[in-house]
Structures are given as structure tokens and as C-alpha cells.
Structure 1
Amino acid sequence: MSSARPPGLPIVDAMTPAVLVLAGPVTRDEVAGLCDDVRALLEASGVGAVVCDVGGLGPPGLGVVDLLARLQLAARRAGGRIRLRDPDPALCPLLDLVGLRFEVEGQPEQREPPLGVEEEVEPGEPAV
């Protein structure tokens, strides 16, 4: 059972203006409105990413995958991207299985190596 969404943007955290809280289950009719909300948050905040709090979506399934894919597409078309907050432990492997990659809060970005100790190499020595 799903209740009607209130008019305007969903819950937005004032400390981080580009946060969209997703509470599920989300019906197909609500997806277009959420895509509009992602575009509006990107335009209003001026940042390149919207954080989607997915902790309230429930167990991951193909409906959640479809929703996140559509939100990512809407964000890309608006010149941004989405980042996931508090995903279910089974969601990331499911997204990997279908070929979708999302940044997750608290994890290092894939293009950046995790912080660690770097050894200095003297000129003329082979790098190991």
C-alpha cells in the first residue's frame, strides 16, 4: 500500500541541500515525479550530485534497480549524477550484476585509490 506523495520536493535535508530521501515501495507512477525532483535538486543546489537515501526502499529487487537507473539517467541528462546513501547490503551486488555502477557514500571513488602509505623511490631505482 502506498500513500500519495505530498506536493513539492520530497524530504530535503537542510544541511546538505542535494539529498533526496526515497521511502518505498515506489510505484511506477511515482518514478517520473522523482526524476523531476532529481533534476530540480541539481538545478537548485548547483552541485554535480544528488545524494539518494535509499535506506527506506526495503529489500532490493528489479523495481529498485529500475528506479535507480531512471534517476541516474535523469541526473545525467541534467549534467549531474546520483550517489547512494545507506543502501541495503544486497543492493550493490545486484546493481553490479545488471551493469550499473553508483557511488556510495563512505566508500572511496573507484577512480581514486584508497588512502594508504606511499613509499618513495629514489631516482634510478626500479619501481616495485
Structure 2
Amino acid sequence: MSFRDAAGPIHMTASATSFTIGATLTRADIPVLCADLAELVRGRSGGGVVVCDVADVVRPDVVTVEALARLRLTARRHGWNLTVTGACPDLLELVRLLGLTDVLIQAGRQPEQREEAGGVEEVVDGRDPPR
């Protein structure tokens, strides 16, 4: 399956490219997807953002996450960023369980402030060296 078969419409501007991942992916699809993405962004000056819409993914699995991670690496190698949008709760949970939440950022999602929970204070041991 080629990138064009697995994906929906591809929209390109000077600084952005968007495409849709199909409902199912196999591990064999990943190298073809990456090669096709590399072909799309190779030589386009200035880099930009590749927006990967995964709203059609029905049953996300480890292969889906692997594909997204490899697509992100491919984009980065060519000076582009990859942003995932349209992820269902199951895919978001799987990404979280695999420890890739900070890597596969969902478009439009704001980073959370690292605040302590209300009523929780850090305990400092007087024997610890100052920071």
C-alpha cells in the first residue's frame, strides 16, 4: 500500500502539508508511508508542519503508533515537524502508555502547566544540598 493509497487528500502550502491516515495500517505499510512523506517534503525550503489526521483510524494499535513515530522521524530528517490531529481516546491512551505523549503532540492541544495538585507541598530535607 503506498502513501497515496493509505492516505486521503494531501494538501500542501509553502509551510504546511496535511494528509489523512486510513483506517488500518500494517507494519509493511510503514516504510512506504515514510518514503512517500520524504518525497513530499524533500527539497521544500524552510521546513514547516506536516499535519497528520488520524480521525479515520478505527482500532489503533502499536503499529499505528509506530507508523506515527516513524513518520515524525522522517519529517524531522527533512526539517519538518509532524503534528497529529483527530486522535481518538484509545490512540491517545496507547500513545501515553508507550511514553510518546510528548513526541506525538496533538494539533491544537496546549501543553499543560506543570503544577502541583492543590494542597500538595514539596517536602525538603534539611540535609539536602540547596539547588
In 2 relative to 1, CA 68–14 (structure 1 residues): closer, same or farther, beyond 3 Å?
Answer: closer
Whole-angstrom CA distance in 2 between matches of 1:75 and 1:105? 16
Q: Secondary structure at the match of 1:36?
A: helix
Whole-angstrom CA distance in 1 between matches of 2:26 and 2:92? 21
Counterpart for residue 105 of structure 2: 103
Unmatched 5+ residue regions in structure 2? 114-131
Whole-angstrom CA distance in 1 between matches of 2:30 and 2:87? 18
Q: 1:73-126: CA deviations, max 9, x gaps? A: 112222222101111112122112111132212212x28x6xxxxxxxxxxxxx
Counterpart for residue 119 of structure 2: none
Q: In the TM superposition, what is the alpha-carbon distance from 1:61 to its structure 2 partner?
A: 1.1
Q: How does 1:2-21 map to 2 (within 5 A)?
A: 4-5=1-2, 10=7, 11-13=9-11, 17-21=16-20
Whole-angstrom CA distance in 1 between matches of 2:93 and 2:5? 33
1:67 maps to 2:67: yes
Q: 1:11-43: CA deviations, max 9, x gaps? A: 213578500211131222221121123223333
Counterpart for residue 77 of structure 1: 77
Whole-angstrom CA distance in 2 between matches of 1:45 and 1:30? 27
In 2 relative to 1, CA 49–14 (structure 1 residues): closer, same or farther, beyond 3 Å?
Answer: closer
| Aligned residue type for 1:32 | P
Identity rate of aligned residues, in percent? 30
> Is this contact kept in 2: 1:42–1:49, CA < 8 A?
no
Counterpart for residue 23 of structure 1: 22
Unmatched 5+ residue regions in structure 1? 114-128
> Is this contact kept in 1: 2:3–2:32, CA < 8 A?
no
Whole-angstrom CA distance in 2 between matches of 1:31 and 1:97? 21
Q: In the TM superposition, what is the alpha-carbon distance from 1:47 to its structure 2 partner?
A: 3.5
Q: TM-score, normalised by structure 2?
A: 0.66
Q: TM-score, normalised by structure 1?
A: 0.67
Q: How does 1:22-41 map to 2 (within 5 A)?
A: 22-41=21-40
Q: In the TM superposition, what is the alpha-carbon distance from 1:9 to its structure 2 partner?
A: 9.8
In 2 relative to 1, CA 70–6 (structure 1 residues): closer, same or farther, beyond 3 Å?
Answer: closer
